[in-house]
Amino acid sequence: MVTSPFDPGDWMIVDLTLMLAEELPAAWAKHVPYQQKTFNYFTDRDDQVAPLKSEVGPYQTRWLLLDEHTGTHVDAPAHFIPESSTGLAHAADVGSVTVEQIPLQQLMGPAVVISIRDDLPGSRPGVSPTITRELIEDFEQEAGKIQPGEIVLFRTNWDRHYVAGPEGHAYCYDPLVTQRGPGWPAPDTEAMAHLMSRGVTTVGTDGPSMGSTHDGAPVHRLALAERVAFIEALGNLKALPVRGSMFVFAPLRIARGTGAPGRAFAWVPARS
């Protein structure tokens, strides 16, 4: 008989996925909003705002209006890299790599959680403070060198703004649209190049995007062109240790997708 060394009692699962709801800032602020509507209900029910109908069976089901980059999601190379045949700027062969082509094994592995200070310089309305290479190197001095295959997660605690109502505008809408609020911390190209030189192929953040509020394209073009996967809009990274957890992201398998929402979670050693 073959026995497994994995004992579920030694681990606990931590959910790192943001909830999708119409009252939450789930969608990128300049994209179509997330919606869910009842297609079929158990019985007809008149309502001034949303009448319900029962026409296809004795059950309830809903349809979703869902942008590919809604909630916790992954970016594929095709998101920022045009196909080489287009002749567009930054075009490359990797521009044909869509989300269903990202290997699942790339989206799971040992996590390294880098906590970002609340007082990073450069934050102002409509502008993100920068996560620099020096900041990452300082982290490595304390926590050890980042290793190939490790998944780096930036814990900025930006998910604290992921709330319903006007307060939720601080998450993405105010930094990006009205520019009345500061942007989320984001790595620059030098910081990302440093991670890539370490052999990192997946990077996550609890901000809405890996790119900055004011100039998000360069870091996407640099990393996605080398098939680095970005997992954006994570939540609850404060529940993970700096090292020692196993991160997993399982995206929807969307044909020709530039990205896909999914479920992010981590196996964390249970406390003795």
pLDDT recorded at residue 164 = 98
Q: For 60-68, what is the mean pLDDT? A: 97
Asked if residue 144 has pLDDT above 60, the reply is: yes
Q: Are 253 and 72 in contact (CB under 8 A)?
A: no
Closest Cα partner for 70 from 103, 34, 102, 97?
34
Q: For 168-185, what is the mean pLDDT? A: 98
pLDDT recorded at residue 186 = 98
Asked if residue 8 has pLDDT above 70, the reply is: no
What is the H or E stretch that residue 38 is in? strand 35-40
Strands 259-269 and 11-15 turn out to be: antiparallel
pLDDT recorded at residue 3 = 47
pLDDT recorded at residue 1 = 44
pLDDT recorded at residue 118 = 83
Q: For 88-99, what is the mean pLDDT? A: 98
**pLDDT tens-digit map of 161-174:** 999 999 999 999 99
Which pair of tokens denotes residue 170? 């601080």
Which domains does the chain carry? 8-32+67-269 (3.50.30.50), 34-66 (no CATH)
- Residues 176, 166: Cα–Cα separation, whole Å: 15
* pLDDT band at residue 179 under the 50/70/90 scheme: very high
**pLDDT tens-digit map of 186-216:** 999 999 999 999 999 999 999 999 999 999 9
Percent of the chain predicted with pLDDT > 90 = 93
pLDDT recorded at residue 119 = 85
**pLDDT tens-digit map of 254-264:** 999 999 999 99
Percent of the chain predicted with pLDDT > 70 = 97
Q: What is the chain's length? A: 272
pLDDT recorded at residue 2 = 44
* pLDDT band at residue 6 under the 50/70/90 scheme: low
Q: For 134-157, what is the mean pLDDT? A: 98
> What phi and psi values does residue 181 have, to the nearest 5 degrees?
-125, 160
pLDDT recorded at residue 7 = 64
Question: DSSP label at 149?
Answer: T
